[in-house]
Amino acid sequence: MATVSGPSTGKAPGATPTKAAPADLLKKVVGTGALSSAMPSNPNKPAEIGDAAYHPPQGATAKPPSAVVTSSTVTESNASEKVGSGKPPQGVNATIDSLDRVRVDSGDRHLTTNQGVAIADNQNSLKIGLRGPTALEDFILREKITHFDHERIPERVVHARGSAAHGYFECYKALTPLTKAAPFAADGKQTPVFVRFSTVAGERGSTDTARDVRGFAVKFYTDEGNWDLVGNNMPIFFIQDAMKFPDLVHAVKPEPHFAMPQASSAHDTYWDFVSLMPESTHMLLWQMSDRAIPRSYRMMQGFGVHTFRLINAEGEAVFCKFHWTPTAGTHALAWDEAVKISGADPDFHRRDLWEAIEAGAYPEWELGLQVFSEEQAEEFEFDILDPTKIVPEEMVPVIPVGKLVLNRNPDNFFAETEQVAFCTAHIVPGIDFSNDPLLQGRIHSYVDTQITRLGGPNFHEIPINAPIAQIHNNQRDGMHRQAIARGRVSYEPNSLGGGCPFQAGSLKGFTSYPEPVAADKVRGKPEKFADHYSQANLFWKSQSPAEQNHIIKAFRFELTRVQTQAIRERVVSLLANVDSTLAEGVARGLGFPVPPPAPNISPLPAHTYEPSPALSMMSYPARDIKTRRVAILIAPGVDGAMARSIYTTLLDSGAVPRFVGITLGEVPATDAETLHAEISVEAGPSVLYDAVAIPDGAESVATLIKDGQVLEFIKDQYRHCKPIMAMGAAQSLLEKAGITPTLPSGDKDASIVGIDEKKTDTALNAFIKAMTAHKELARETDPPAI
């Protein structure tokens, strides 16, 4: 019955059951001795030496003679509402059950304190007399205020502003020849996921539509543990080594002396840094392209950025890059449009994702893999460990392997979206790292970050982070520990716990790919890392003329906001190594001649690539107009039958039409039926819609044409290249706004509908076709004509 020492020989005193020695306690003490004796040594130690270390065996175990032997206490069978049924689960970690175990609904329940004490009065603090001072003993007030004071946690240094959703990944066909990773183990296998999209540079309260890289992080809750594919909406990055990541982030963040600008790279410190880091050139073109201002999270690609390894059950490895492609097509905002959306609705992307999922229009992406061997990689003219390079799809095609569907919004933004912790170090058997030096740094950085943000090393126990696979290890204690470990053993090897938990061995457990390495310790980069311009040129010449023009305008805008002339010239000197048209266009917009090209340090000749259509967003069109927002402008005297027909047809096509009026309220129509404005032009400006339809009605048009906001609404629709449908008298609105049905080239503008189409059905078909193409970019002029 003592907890210290015991006899070294012979039978322990009290080994025979008596009233003084409870049977369970005796069973535990005697059984513990027998269990420990079953493991006189550690038989696995020889497997740690030499060649045997490549194939670790399963851990040695012994079975306890009874469950009580490995328990923490023989009183575990004493049940209560708090401790449980008295039959604690064995071989199970009950803390990682589904999120239902932590969901709270307060319907038909009274208020309580955090200790469960019912609160009689939640309106008044405890005072000494009705007009007297508040009492220090008011524990209800103190708990409420104290919790409120601590409701915020440190925000992420980068990717602070995010939006997320639950869903699933479905594998098309088993990929067992390539990898033993759980999500790819069987045809049609579904794996739960939680996906977080984010901007990078801005703080938590910044705007959604800033020009920025977007995070695209996917947490796979696999049956073999969590795998986090932590990527971006661009397949490359600014730097080649994690050593430079703090410098990059410090440079792009608000300048420290006056904390401006927020969520913007258009300032001196950012461009000073990247202009001195020519390896950033390729990424700068991506950042200045339309990909940096996506129309929606649902309409942007995602990439794993780095090169990873896939490993099959036989231990054979191949290299892999991950690609997410949206089924809704890849579409972008115009910069002027993005700026105005920031004022009209800074939550534009967050709202768009939430509303689509709530409406059942579940966002979907296809996962594709680029798979290549180590021998192939050695033949590439670039280094696959360089995160500033892509593997062109013409060299290694993307193979579709599954789909990602987001079908459930979070219940609570803080508990899920804010507290979710992604980490590139979270991989499962069948996935492994490459030696990409940026990836290697990220493996450490993310874990370190979450320890600070989420209160300690037990962030994995927060429900949104907990895996669905069982957790069993000897980690103990730490801040905010939730799991209550049963038993006295917290080390391995052990005999007091029957050797449990035991190592899984190479057949079931994670083992790193045994890549042979024989090299000097050195700080530096290989020669292929020094080619900073060949792939930048590939990206530039793979863009459509409209996309190229947008890149020039983006550089022009950003560098115009830079104060220091030397920095502007240094950036253009980098662009001079990429393409002369690009450099001349940017320099002309900044008012100086193109400077001499920046020094090219590469010892290798530049490589010339053929254009790659996959690099243009135009290569991923929409299949339909589902979830497209369409404004239908109405005023008293509108053709009611036509307005309802437009609304119904668009709704049936999957679009989201809205009746937009000058103000809210009833809108009498020509057929004596009343329409109801859903939002006003003031509260729902043009930039929040993908297209506009204006029904016929002389009286309605006469009212609309007098409103400057309406005319500005139509002008913005035109300026942002969006489809416009104007029927009958509504064409006078276009004339008043200075809009013509022809393009600058003189050709017909197919996205302006209603002039030639007299019937509503015919016009709607043309309108829907134009919306499927998203925008008529041939309409653009620089500067804008309207």
Give the tokens for residue 669. Answer: 């129509």
> What does each C-alpha distance from 224 to 92, 180, 199, 290, 509 come to in angstroms?
14, 11, 30, 38, 9
CB 557, CB 266: distance < 8 Å: yes
Q: What angle do CA 404, 180, 61 make, to 5 degrees?
A: 125
Q: Please, what sign has the CA dihedral across residues 49, 51, 55, 60?
A: negative
> What does each C-alpha distance from 222 to 215, 426, 747 come to in angstroms?
21, 11, 54
Question: How are beta strands 214-222 and 225-232 bridged, if at all?
Answer: antiparallel
Helices (H), 606-639: none
Instruction: Measure the CA dihedral 274/279/284/286, to 10°.
Output: -160
Give catalytic status of residue 412 as yes or no: no
CB 171, CB 186: distance < 8 Å: yes
Question: How are beta strands 691-694 and 629-633 bridged, if at all?
Answer: parallel
Task: Tabulate helix, strand, coil % of the chain (nearest 5).
Answer: 35, 15, 50
Residue type, 107: G
Per-residue H/E/C for 658-689: EEEECCCEEEEECCCCEEEECEECCCCCHHHC
H/E element holding 193?
A: strand 190-199
Residues 6+ apart with CB under 8 A from 675: 634, 638, 640, 643, 644, 659, 666, 667, 668, 669
> What does each C-alpha distance from 659 to 415, 634, 665, 684, 695 come to in angstroms?
36, 7, 11, 10, 11
Give catalytic status of residue 159 as yes or no: yes
Nearest of 333, 340, 342 to residue 777 by alpha carbon: 333
For the chain, how many residues are written? 786
Residues 6+ apart with CB under 8 A from 6: 12
Nearest of 273, 268, 264, 267 to residue 293 by alpha carbon: 264
756 exposure class (CB count in 10 Å sphere: 0-12, 13-18, 19+): exposed
Report the alpha-carbon distance of residue 311 to residue 513 in Å, rounded: 8
Report the alpha-carbon distance of residue 422 to residue 310 in Å, rounded: 20
Using DSSP's 3-state secondary structure scheme, residue 361 falls into coil
116 exposure class (CB count in 10 Å sphere: 0-12, 13-18, 19+): exposed
Phi, psi for 359 (deg, rounded to 5):
-80, -5
Find the catalytic residue in 44, 159, 226, 532: 159
172 exposure class (CB count in 10 Å sphere: 0-12, 13-18, 19+): middle
CB 470, CB 273: distance < 8 Å: no
* Sheet containing strand 679-680, strands side by side: 679-680, 656-661, 629-633, 691-694, 724-726, 752-753
Give the tokens for residue 563. Answer: 């104060």
Report the alpha-carbon distance of residue 20 to residue 17 in Å, rounded: 8
Find the catalytic residue in 44, 226, 232, 465: 232
Using DSSP's 3-state secondary structure scheme, residue 255 falls into strand
Report the alpha-carbon distance of residue 611 to residue 552 in Å, rounded: 19
Q: Which residues are catalytic?
A: 159, 232
